[in-house]
Amino acid sequence: MSQITQSQDFNLNLKIFRNILIGFTVSAILSSCGTAGRNAPTIASIEDKELVIENIKVQPIERKSVVAKYKEFLRSVPVEDIYSDAQRRLADLELMSGEDKSVSDDDPMSPAGRQQLRSAIKQYSRYLRTHKNSKENELVLYQLAKAYSLLAEPEKEQSTLNRLKREFPKSKYNDEVNFRIGETYFVLNKYRLAGKAYNNIVINHKKSLFYEKAMYKYGWTLFKRNKYQQALKQFINLLDIKSAQGKLGRVTLSPGISRSEKELLTDTLRVTSLTLSYQQGARSLTRYLKASGKKPYEPLLYRALGKQYQNKDRIIDAADTYMAYVKRAPNDPDAPIFHQDAIAAYKKGGLASLVIKSKAEFIARYNTKSYYWRTQSNEKRNFIKPLLAIHIKDLATHFHASGRKSRKRSDYRHAAKWYGEFITMFPNDKTSADMNFLLAESLHESGQYQKAILEFEKTAYGYAAHKKSAEAAYAAILIYPKLQRLVQKKNKGSKKLVVVWQQKAIASALLFSEKFSQDKRVSSVLAKTSETLYAHKNYQRANQTARLLLAKKSKYSTPRDKRTAWIIIGHSEFALANYTESEKAYKQVLRRTAKNSKLYKPMQTRLAASIYKQGELAKASNNNQQAISHFLRLKKITPNSPLLATAEYDAASLLIKEKKLKHASRILEKFRITYPKKKKLQQGVTEKLAFIYTETKQYTKAAHEIEKLLTTKGSANFKRDMTLQAANLYLKGGNKKNGIRLYKKYIKKYPQPLAEAMEARNTLAEHYKKTRKLKKWGYWLKEIIRADAKGGRQRTDRTKYLAGNATLVLAKPLRTQYNRAKLRIPLKKSLKKKKRLMQKTIKAYQQALNYKIADVSTSATYQIAEIYNNFARALMKSQRPKGLSADEKEQYDILLEEQAFPFEEKAIDIHVANVKNVNTGIYNNWIKKSLRQLSRLQPVRYAKTEKVERYVDAIH
């Protein structure tokens, strides 16, 4: 080709190159704008200066077109310098195209992208071979390394970068070269060499754009080499820098930072957490911070570590991390947030027991009495308050539910504790009343009855009216009996405390009835309270309370409640002796009670008792007529009452007292038939009928009644007396057979005391004397004598008299026999007989003398004197022998007189002795008879007998 032609071609090609260069520059600018922020800084970007293009309207040129033009240019351009520059520019364009392909295509290694990158590498490599000393080789080597990087050929990239570093040791791009070397080594897992490259930047290029990234990657290499402490230091150092730049807050990244900054910080926090997790987690972090000093972003470190653990489902480690910060900075404003994060972690992991424990610790640390609370702002307090409320409620609810399931009192006590905490911390909370109710419930279930009552009553009356007010008040009422039983059991020796709680229970019930008067349970409460008051013998208040129930006329009052009220009224009025009122009340009860009810009969009995008591009061006030009326009306009102028998008996007793014996008799006779099983009263009936019959002179009936008493369980003395009385009445009534039977029974069964038995014997003797049953008469006379002889110290003048008199009576037949004995011829024989009878008779009378009873002794003395007198007369009147002459007869008479005289003298002496008893104060018919006999036997001395008798009578 000619020189001109060559020159023309060169000029033409230069023109083409300028057009390409303009298009390339515009394209590069647009491309740079399109990819800003997506890639790390490059040497090209560092080299380029700000280019401002104003008012230039350039039609966009496709990079593909520019590349084609460059290739066309290279084929035709002969100038070396221009060719080399174009060659390098072409390589840059193809690198950019390949890079775009690798970024935009789904497959970063797509054939089109790889082809363009290979083409760029080829151009760079050719350039380096042909321009070994070019100052542009620094950039070319960098771009070549980049192409290898995009093709994922780290060894070639690394080789290229090392060449760059070797050939340009003082390159202004040395920081990025070291960074790229570190990256390639990192990809090749050559962490020591990578770390060396990164550390070069950290040490020598602190102002480099790659400095922070290098610190980050250097930390990674240490981490990969298990040098966790050193790695941690690098990461913390980086975070210190970012914190100083304001890119880190206390607990979050600062808002408004770039995406790349956010990614770097996020990754740094993540790898820091990972580093710590490979050590001892939160303990390692706390230990490091203690050594290195406090960091403003410490909460962020603990939170990041906690989240790291949570993402790995290491729940306990996560919670421990959050709590580690709480322990490190217990009074930090954000401590509750971390504590709350721990709770949330436990909850997420389903670790219920740890949730409960952590909530309890939360409350202990941040409650309204804690140091933390006192040192915080109102804003922080307002943040904590709802958390405290939630946790306290949760704990209370948890333990309450556990208690209901386990029935363990310890669970209920824990629930009560937390309910109490809530009320203490949040007294004005809208749920405080409900919580107070649950507190009371828990105390009740845990057996703390006294506290439960106080809290139920506080719930009922200590808040503005709420839906649980009445329920709480009623619950307190129900617990009082349990508390009373417990107190009674624990204080057996003292009733004082029991009484105190009884009074409080009553007061609580009455307050409930007053405050919640429309509550449907008021009637039952009043009924129960009146029962309690009555049981405690507070009859006046029991009566008032029961009447209050009736006065309320509540629609909720049940017939049963009303009946209970009337029962208590009846019982109370009865106890207060208001028997008229109690009668009215019991009648009300019976109107409200079915006759087949178990209650009916007892209430009838109570009604009867009220009527009976009215009778008793009338009786006590001597109003017998009214008392009788009450006793007798009992049968009309309560005909089946157990008291009816007693009432009729008492009525009969008062009728007797009022002398209405006939009426009394009718009642008692009917009583005997109606109430045969009333043994005790039947005995009284018998006694009273015996009295009535005796008073009305129905002696046999009276005796018959008395004899019935002998079958009772009375004392021996009673039965003895009644036997004798019945025997007397039988005889008095003309029923001698039964009278004699009872006398004999009496003597046999009750020989003691002697006096009464002797009288009974005497009665029998007299009876048989009158009936002329001489043999039986004689038997009982002998029994009288025998009984007295054995009487010992029980003998009395009366018994002696009866025995002596019996002796006299028994001696009389001997006397009669003696008197009838006549002296006949042969006199000797008849005289002997007479004398024998005389001695026998005298002996009998002498036995009577032994009793030393005046009447008996004087009688016996008289009889003995007359026995002697009789013997003298009998001699004088004896039969004379036949054939006596007158002289013989006279002599015989003188002889008889001589024989009779001593007997007459003896008679006179004995009579005289009898009369001498007058000197001892004794003067009776027997003495009078002796005087008369003496007047006949000694007329000279005792001729004036009548005067003597009158004189003696006058003396006595």
With b meaning 16 or more CB within 10 Å and e meaning fewer, what string describes 913-925? ebbebbeeebbbe
Taking only the tens place, the pLDDT of each residue in 178-222 is: 998 999 899 999 999 999 999 999 999 999 999 999 999 999 999
pLDDT at 870: 92
Q: Where are the domains of the chain?
A: 3-167, 400-516, 697-795, 797-925
Helices (H), 821-919: 827-849, 854-876, 886-915
Asked whether the predicted pLDDT for residue 35 surpasses 60, the reply is no
Q: What is the mean pLDDT of residues 407-430?
A: 93
Question: Of 496-500, 515-519, 750-754, where does mean pLDDT reach its minimum?
Answer: 496-500
Phi, psi values for residue 248, rounded to 5°: -120, 130
Q: What is the mean pLDDT of residues 566-582?
A: 96
Asked whether the predicted pLDDT for residue 566 surpasses 60, the reply is yes
Asked whether the predicted pLDDT for residue 21 surpasses 50, the reply is no
pLDDT band with cut points at 50, 70 and 90 for residue 158: confident
pLDDT at 77: 55
pLDDT at 230: 97
Please state, in angstroms and rounded to a whole number, the distance separating the CA atoms of residues 710 and 724: 11
pLDDT band with cut points at 50, 70 and 90 for residue 487: confident
pLDDT at 80: 53
Asked whether the predicted pLDDT for residue 635 surpasses 60, the reply is yes
Of residues 611 and 170, which shows the higher confidence score? 611
H or E element in which residue 124 lies: helix 111-130
Taking only the tens place, the pLDDT of each residue in 855-892 is: 999 999 999 999 999 999 989 888 888 888 888 889 98
pLDDT band with cut points at 50, 70 and 90 for residue 107: low
pLDDT band with cut points at 50, 70 and 90 for residue 67: low
pLDDT at 598: 94
> What percent of the chain clears pLDDT 70, i.e. is strictly above it?
88
Q: What is the mean pLDDT of residues 237-258?
A: 92
Taking only the tens place, the pLDDT of each residue in 920-939 is: 889 999 999 999 999 998 88
Q: What is the mean pLDDT of residues 742-746?
A: 93
pLDDT band with cut points at 50, 70 and 90 for residue 942: confident
Of residues 80 and 359, which shows the higher confidence score? 359
Chain length of the chain = 956
pLDDT at 642: 86
Taking only the tens place, the pLDDT of each residue in 453-474 is: 999 999 999 999 999 999 999 9
Q: What is the mean pLDDT of residues 115-138?
A: 88
Could you tell me if 11 and 74 are in contact, meaning their C-beta atoms sit under 8 angstroms apart? no
Asked whether the predicted pLDDT for residue 13 surpasses 50, the reply is no
In order, the DSSP letters of 327-341 are HHSTTSTTHHHHHHH
Taking only the tens place, the pLDDT of each residue in 508-554 is: 999 999 999 889 999 999 999 999 899 989 999 999 999 999 998 77
Please state, in angstroms and rounded to a whole number, the distance separating the CA atoms of residues 692 and 13: 173
pLDDT at 91: 75
> What class, spelled out in words, does domain 3-167 have in CATH?
mainly alpha
Q: Which of 911, 815, 813 is nearest to 862 (CA)?
A: 911
pLDDT at 86: 67
Could you tell me if 629 and 614 are in contact, meaning their C-beta atoms sit under 8 angstroms apart? no
pLDDT band with cut points at 50, 70 and 90 for residue 54: very low
pLDDT at 783: 95
Which CATH fold would you assign to the domain 697-795?
1.25.40
On whether the pTM is more than 0.75, the answer is no
pLDDT at 5: 35
Q: Which long-range contacts (CB under 8 A, 24 or more apart) does 685-689 make?
A: 685/649, 685/652, 686/712, 688/652, 688/653, 688/656, 688/664, 689/665
Of residues 955 and 777, which shows the higher confidence score? 777
3-state secondary structure of 53: coil
Q: Which of 75, 106, 86 is nearest to 24 (CA)?
A: 86
> What class, spelled out in words, does domain 400-516 have in CATH?
mainly alpha
Q: What is the mean pLDDT of residues 274-296?
A: 94
> What percent of the chain clears pLDDT 90, i.e. is strictly above it?
67
Asked whether the predicted pLDDT for residue 25 surpasses 90, the reply is no
Q: How far apart are the first and last CA of the chain?
A: 220
Phi, psi values for residue 904, rounded to 5°: -70, -45
- The overall average pLDDT reported for the chain is 87
pLDDT at 82: 55
pLDDT at 215: 96
pLDDT band with cut points at 50, 70 and 90 for residue 680: confident
* Residues contacting 451, CB < 8 A, separation 6+: 416, 443
Asked whether the predicted pLDDT for residue 11 surpasses 70, the reply is no
